[in-house]
Structure 1
């Protein structure tokens, strides 16, 4: 059983690639620059080593966590990704249905091709990801629609003052995509207005502004340093999200597996800490939890599974649940709280370095 699950997960990317056009496949898989950060992400998790417990009763294993006060049956969530309707016609709605059935959390991109109302109608717990424009007032209607549709939090992406350069071979997917696949939650006439470009002057005050504007907790996504994490928490962030934007922003930054320990230490118990980037299987999830993450988020593999629609995403959640549950049993852990002392110190194992 475990072998079949692992085989299905490991073959996801290749199967998805056969169903995608070259521009779409390159968009999903690309990293910025020469792709160093993207290429190192998964290997970094697999360089970590764990110290399992034994003589523990693991008859019953609970994968559940509490995120911003709400229970989730899964210690992972779906990261925000664009162009889901280019991957499958049902797009975000298919992802949301499968995630709701699994008892998980979904973060919806502000570039989504499905309306907030359609996503919310699936019953999924969801948060909104946003970029702030240079004219903050222009994001107000989007925030209002999200609040009205029941978003549980706002995830502010802070690592994208500009979009980093990458090198597609057959043109940018944005120039080829159907306009109905993206940004449907912005009002008519939004595009092209003065001030819609991404803000170059983001600051801690924007965290407090978003919290006051929406009445929702704010998660800050794109943090790789402990000192920045502290500034976020001091400005009112409920959580910080360790992320390299899938390796799509500044190339040659450290991996999220390397950054997580510092951020967790800086934040302590004052806020939740999440991580994404290169997590592909249940042992990766266990390693991230052992490194101090309250939850992990996964992007590309969900898009790979979405090629098969709702059924594909449902199978992905089930496979990850089976692998993570097995990994926790083998590590002697009955709950996520039991994972916190599993990580082997780097000095104990030369493999615990890239």
Structure 2
């Protein structure tokens, strides 16, 4: 028995073929079960930091419920035997409309952290976005991602222009092509999962590898990092947290980054309009996976209005609530150019390092590939709003 060629869907046949030798897949293929297994593996602090949400968790629940309200309307008798997921995002061709979202402090769930994610991203051909709050340096992650890896850099914008310029210069010098500026996390929200454990990783020296390796930031310290790492981490916190930035500061980033700039955290059409006027290249419609404002609008519910306001000038990506291939399909149908996958790949990281991340990404791409074909879409261009029926029922997912 040989697997028919179906592109990303081949992963399905790989798993079935291994079954002929009584081999089960190394990790579950069910995204809901994946979280459950990761929760059992991780302690309450790392699990709570990754899975937790702001306040009551209402926004995180709304993100998933919004996907359930939109239902795919499959079309029949179309030749979708072969599918093509390729798309162009911010001037670069992507093999699929999926990017690994910036998630910080990945060493909480696996010692290799972002290094493992970088290797898996390169192996699966998807871009990764490195968080400013990484457990490894800009340079180390670039090396792990390899010469052919596609990597973007996410900025938690410091309130020190020289430190910001230094970090951006390091990212550009190490092959990070796109800058993703997170707007919604200048101050941490009320997060019961972390508060009940009295756990903020940065105070313990986790997730600060990038600033603590930065020459400009290090020059600000009264003592070398090696002598007082906790003191250095404590000096970093007020530089990147606690004070809001404003629209008129965006020019500074443009002066210090010569590639595409994307603003992450846009939910209101008026903010999309301001991003366009500011000359930004892209927008990520996102509520930070429900981690910042309890009771906020579901990201998917905000997507179509932001796409309409952004027009053709500024590309719109989507983040918050992607769990499976159908979610990717729905976000694209509502106008997103690509999606950012978050928590699921980190659960894969927790279970198996780079192999776990690769399994999750390959599974998502296979699921999306099959969803495309079975819904009557052979290319990304075939996926439009007419493929959805809004207002469907069904139980909201966890």
Q: Give yes or no for TM over 0.5.
A: yes
> Which region of structure 1 is more displaced relative to structure 2, 100-109 or 38-47?
38-47
Could you tell me which runs of 5 or more consecutive residues in structure 1 were left unpaired when the two chains were aligned: none
Structure 1 residue 56, shift from structure 2 partner: 1.5
> What per-residue deviation string (whole Å, max 9, x for no partner) do you get for residues 28-58 of structure 1?
1111111100122112112102222222111
> Which region of structure 1 is more displaced relative to structure 2, 111-120 or 330-339?
111-120
Quick one: which of 379, 384, 389 aligns to 1:340? 384
> Which region of structure 1 is more displaced relative to structure 2, 50-59 or 283-292?
50-59
Give the alignment of 1:269-284 within 5 angstroms.
269-284=312-327
Structure 1 residue 73, shift from structure 2 partner: 1.1
Separation of aligned partners in 1, 2:361 and 2:61: 24
> What per-residue deviation string (whole Å, max 9, x for no partner) do you get for residues 220-278 of structure 1?
00000111011011101100000101111111011011000100111111111111111
Match of 1:170 in 2: 197
Give the alignment of 1:60-99 within 5 angstroms.
60-99=82-121
Residue 82 of structure 2: SS of its match in structure 1? coil
Structure 1 contact 48–343 (Cα < 8 Å) conserved: no
Structure 1 residue 7, shift from structure 2 partner: 4.2
Could you tell me which runs of 5 or more consecutive residues in structure 2 were left unpaired when the two chains were aligned: 1-11, 17-24, 222-231
Match of 2:186 in 1: 161
Note the aligned Cα RMSD (angstroms). Answer: 2.3
Structure 1 contact 50–342 (Cα < 8 Å) conserved: no
> What per-residue deviation string (whole Å, max 9, x for no partner) do you get for residues 86-123 of structure 1?
21111111111111111101011001111222221222
Distance change >3 Å, CA 239–CA 353, structure 1 → 2: farther
Structure 1 residue 202, shift from structure 2 partner: 2.1
Separation of aligned partners in 1, 2:272 and 2:242: 20
Quick one: which of 360, 367, 381 aligns to 1:323? 367
Match of 1:104 in 2: 126
Structure 1 residue 353, shift from structure 2 partner: 12
Quick one: which of 45, 56, 62 aligns to 1:40? 62
Match of 1:25 in 2: 47
Match of 1:249 in 2: 292
Q: Considering only CA atoms, is the larger Rg found in Structure 1 or Structure 2?
A: 2
Match of 1:139 in 2: 164
Separation of aligned partners in 2, 1:211 and 1:56: 45
Structure 2 contact 78–376 (Cα < 8 Å) conserved: yes
Match of 2:3 in 1: none
Residue 296 of structure 2: SS of its match in structure 1? coil
Separation of aligned partners in 2, 1:14 and 1:194: 32
Distance change >3 Å, CA 39–CA 350, structure 1 → 2: closer
Structure 1 residue 10, shift from structure 2 partner: 3.0
Residue 14 of structure 1: SS of its match in structure 2? helix
1:185 matched to 2:215? The reply is: no
Separation of aligned partners in 2, 1:353 and 1:291: 21
Query: What TM-score results when the alignment is normalised by the length of structure 2?
Result: 0.82
Separation of aligned partners in 1, 2:389 and 2:349: 37
Structure 1 residue 154, shift from structure 2 partner: 0.9
Give the alignment of 1:148-297 within 5 angstroms.
148-167=173-192, 168=194, 169-174=196-201, 177=204, 179=205, 181-186=206-211, 187=214, 188=218, 189=221, 191=233, 192=235, 196-198=239-241, 200-297=243-340
Query: What TM-score results when the alignment is normalised by the length of structure 1?
Result: 0.92
> Which region of structure 1 is more displaced relative to structure 2, 3-12 or 35-44?
3-12
